[in-house]
Structure 1
Amino acid sequence: MGKRIYLHYPGKDETVAVATGFSWGAFLLGFVWALSKRMWFAAFIMLSVNIMFFFTDIWGSVGDLIGLVLSILFGIACGVYGNLWHLRTLEKRGYVVVR
């Protein structure tokens, strides 16, 4: 398990911990994980990509295999970058990293 980065919202007594490293939630749950973190744009993109992969089955069995491989690769990418996206989203909202 990776370390945690703590962010504080100035003016409020609110601190959020963001894990570092691979995000199993982003890998397994995708856009549902992004919605739970209030990352609306990331959730929209994840859902759109998943819907796009879902419709690759129109091309038959080759499309199914391509869609499956791309979906797994996309899930891995979401897992690798998920916590970083969460950190950047909080920073855009005004949170500051606590040193």
Structure 2
Amino acid sequence: MEAKIYLHYPGNDEAVAVGSGFSWGACLLGFIWALSKKMWFAAFVMLAVNLILFGMGLWGETADLIGMVLSIVFAVACGAYGNRWHRWTLEQRGYVLV
């Protein structure tokens, strides 16, 4: 069970909850998850990496296997760091820890 970290923008009463553990949304949905969190740069990078790994699969069977393994590793890495990236993005926008 993961703990939630709450951030709020000064002058606004609403708090944004950010998970502190593994992000299944970031792992399974990738750049779509990042777009839903308004993390534009992260979404662009995730999409670019996914397209590069997909392109590797078009080169042949060995590259296809390597591309699939790298895609899985990248998805797990996005899941492991997704909530950290989300919190960092909010803090860069001026949100503070409650």
Normalized against structure 2, the TM-score is what?
0.98
**Secondary structure at the counterpart of residue 18 of structure 2:** strand
Output one character per residue of 1:16-53: Cα deviation in whole Å (capped at 9) or x when no partner: 00011100000000000000000000000000000000
Query: Unmatched 5+ residue regions in structure 2?
Result: none
For the aligned residues, what is the CA RMSD? 0.6
Q: Which 4+ stretches in 1 moved above 2 angstroms?
A: none
- The number of equivalent residue pairs is 98
CA distance in 2, matches of 1:60, 1:33: 30
CA distance in 2, matches of 1:57, 1:27: 20
CA distance in 2, matches of 1:56, 1:8: 42
CA distance in 2, matches of 1:32, 1:12: 27
Q: Could you tell me which residue of structure 2 aligns to residue 32 of structure 1?
A: 32
Q: Could you tell me which residue of structure 2 aligns to residue 81 of structure 1?
A: 81
Amino acid at match of 1:9: Y
Shift of 1:74: 0.2
Q: Could you tell me which residue of structure 1 aligns to residue 16 of structure 2?
A: 16
Query: Unmatched 5+ residue regions in structure 1?
Result: none
CA distance in 2, matches of 1:66, 1:51: 14
Identity %: 67
Normalized against structure 1, the TM-score is what?
0.97
Shift of 1:14: 2.0
Q: Could you tell me which residue of structure 2 aligns to residue 4 of structure 1?
A: 4
Amino acid at match of 2:71: S
Shift of 1:12: 1.3
